[in-house]
Amino acid sequence: MTDFEYRDRRLFCEETSLEEIAKMTGTPCYVYSNRTILDRFDAYNLAFGDIPHTVCYAVKANSNLALLNLLANAGAGFDIVSGGELYRVLKAGGDPRKVVFSGVGKTSDEIDFALSHNIFSFNCESEPELELIDSIAGERGVKARVAMRVNPDVDAATHPYISTGLREHKFGIDIAEVEDVYRRGMALANVALESVSCHIGSQLLDTQPLLEALRKMLGLIDRLRAAGAPISHIDLGGGVGVPYRSSEQRPDIDAFVQDLRGLLAGKRLHAMVEPGRSIVGEAGVLLTRVLYRKRNGDKEFVIVDAAMNDLIRPALYQSHHEIAPVALSDGETIRADVVGPVCETGDFLARDREMPDLRGGDLLAIMTAGAYGFAQASNYNSRPRPAEVLVDGKGWRIVRRRESYDDLIQPEVGARAEIVQ
Ligand code: LLP
C-alpha cells in the first residue's frame, strides 16, 4: 500500500488531488506523502520494539528540511555522509546525539564540525581516517565514538553502482583485517571503539544477503570481545529495497526486522539501521506534463517537461519507474519512449513503454521517485530545479519553491558582479 491512489479516475496523494497541486505549483514538481514517510519509519521503529535501537534515516535519499523535520519529530536519528548533511539535520531540528557519520572521504573540517556538535558516532572507513579523528578529538579534548565500517564480503546482488559490500569495493575494511585495526585503535587515546558497522548495498529486494552480513558481523563481534574490545553497538547500514515495478514484491520491513531481532537475541547489542529508500522512495512522485508527441520513423516519443536533471535514475542506473497518468482514460494505448528536453539521447524516463494515447498538456506521475530523486537533481542545461510539495491529508504546502533563473546565476553574480547586465 502507498498513499497514491485513484479516486474517481484521478490520482490522489492522500486526500489531495495531484491535478490541483500541478495547477497551483506548475510542473515538474515532486510531491511527497507525509503519511507514507511516517508509516515506513514507524514500521522499522515499532518492529525493533523494546530492544535498544536507533533508526537513523539516511539523509542522502532525500534531504529536504521538511522531511528531516518530520522524521526528527518522530524520533529518528540520522545517517549523514557530509558536513552539509549535518548542517541540514541541525537546521531541521534533528538531535546530533542520534547522528552517525558515514562516508569514505571525510575531511578534517567535516570531522571537526561533527565533533563540535557531539554527534553519536563516526562510521570510520580506513586507518588513516581513524588516526585523523583521534588527533582532531585530541585537539578538542574530547573522546570520539567510532565504529569501523567492515566490508563483510557479501554479495548484495543489486546494481553494480550501488553494491558496496564486496572486497573489490572502495568501502570499509576487509573483515579479515579489521581485528588488527581494532587492536591498534584501542591504543589511541581519543577514540572509543565500541561499535561496528557495515553496509552492503542499496535496493535489496531479497533480505538474505543482509542477514548473512549480520551473521558474519556477529562472529566478528565475538572475536573482538574475546580480544578485549567492549563492543556495545552494531550498525547494519541501509534498509530494504522498494518495488519500482508493479510486478515486484515489497520486502516486509517488519519481517526483516524480526529476522534481525532473532539473530541479535542475547547478544547485548544496541542495534542501528540506516534506511533511506524504504522510508521515502514510495512516498514521492515526480509530476510532469506532456509537452509534445512526436514520431521518428517507427518510433513514438512522448516529450515531457521533466528531464534527467530532475530524475537521473533511469539514465544512470537504467532503473524502471512506473509512469501513471494523473487522469485515467479508456482509449487506445501506444508504445513510446518518455523523454525530457535535455540535449542527450540518455535523457529518458522510460523506454518502449505502453502508455495511454497522450496529448500535450496531459499530466503524468513518475512513481517511486521520493528517494534519490530531487537529491540527485542538478541544473544541467541551466534548468531550474523543480518545486517540492509535502501533502498531509487534505492539506499540502510547498517545502521547496521552484528555482528561478536568478537562482541559477546567484553564486556567480556574487563572485563576478561586473559582467552581469
Ligand atoms: N548507509 C550507507 C552507508 C549508504 O551508503 C546508503 C546508501 C544507505 C545507508 C541508505 O541505503 P538505502 O536504505 O537507501 O538503500 N543513488 C542510488 C542509491 C545510492 C545509495 C548509496 N548508499 C539510487 O538512486 O538508487
| Residues with catalytic function | 343
What's the half-sphere exposure (Cβ side, CA atoms, 13 Å) at 212?
Answer: 16
C-beta of residue 350 within 8 angstroms of C-beta of residue 323? yes
Question: What confidence tier does 171 reach under pLDDT thresholds 50, 70, 90?
Answer: confident
d(CA 342, CA 409): 19
Assign domain 103-273 one CATH number from 3.90.700.10, 3.30.70.1150, 3.20.20.10, 3.40.30.10: 3.20.20.10
Ligand 1: distance of its center to the CA of 230 in Å? 29
Exposure b/e, 264-281, CB count within 10 A at least 16 = b: beeeebebbbbbbbbbbb
Best residue among 54, 60, 318, 376 to mutate for probing ligand 1, ranked by most atoms within 8 Å of CB: 60
Calculate mean pLDDT across residues 105-123: 98
- Over residues 398-410, the mean pLDDT reads 97
Query: How far is 281 from 322, CA to CA, in rounded Å?
Result: 13
Among 47, 2, 40, 49, smallest CA distance to 255 is for: 47
Q: How far apart are the CA of 204 and the centre of ligand 1, in A?
A: 10
Ligand 1 pocket residues where CB is under 6 Å? 58, 61, 79, 102, 162, 199, 202-203, 237-239, 274-278, 313, 317, 371-372, 376
Instruction: Give 18: exposed, middle or buried? Use CB within 10 Å, 0-12, 13-18, 19+.
Output: buried
For position 389, what pLDDT does the model report?
A: 98
Torsion of CA 125, 131, 133, 137, to 10 degrees: 160
- Å from CA of 414 to ligand 1 middle: 34
CA of 201 to the centre of ligand 1 (A): 7
Ligand 1, residue 103: give the atom nearest the CA.
3
- What residue ranges of the chain are covered by domains with CATH 3.20.20.10? 103-273
Q: What is the band of 68 on the pLDDT scale with cuts at 50, 70, 90?
A: very high
Query: Which cell goes with 44?
Result: 522499522
Task: Give tens-digit pLDDT for 307-337.
Answer: 999 999 999 999 999 999 999 999 899 999 9
- pLDDT band at residue 157, thresholds of 50, 70 and 90? confident
**How large is the average pLDDT for residues 90-104?**
97
Percent of all residues in the chain with a pLDDT value above 70, rounded to a whole number = 98
User: Of 35, 53, 36, which Cα lies nearest the Cα of 45?
Assistant: 53
* CA-nearest residue, atom 15 of ligand 1: 202
Asked if residue 27 lies in contact with residue 363, where contact means CB atoms within 8 angstroms, the answer is yes
Overall pTM > 0.95: yes
Which residue puts its alpha carbon closest to atom 4 of ligand 1?
238
Give, using CA atoms, the residue closest to atom 24 of ligand 1.
372
Counting ligand 1 atoms within 8 A of each CB, the residue from 202, 286, 366 with the most, and so the one to mutate, is 202
Alpha helices in 281-322 (DSSP H): 313-317
Positive or negative: CA dihedral 145, 150, 156, 160: positive
- Specify the residue with its C-alpha closest to ligand 1, atom 19: 162
334 C-alpha to center of ligand 1: Å?
35
Mean pLDDT for the chain? 95
CA 371 to ligand 1: nearest atom: 24
Intervals of CATH 2.40.37.10 along the chain? 4-31+282-411
Arch. (CATH architecture) of 4-31+282-411: Beta Barrel (2.40)
User: Looking at the predicted structure, is the pLDDT value of residue 63 above 90?
Assistant: yes
User: Cα 339 vs. chain centroid, distance in angstroms?
Assistant: 24
- The DSSP symbol for 163 reads B
Task: Report the separation in Å between the CA atom of 221 and the middle of ligand 1, taken as the mean of its atom positions.
Answer: 24
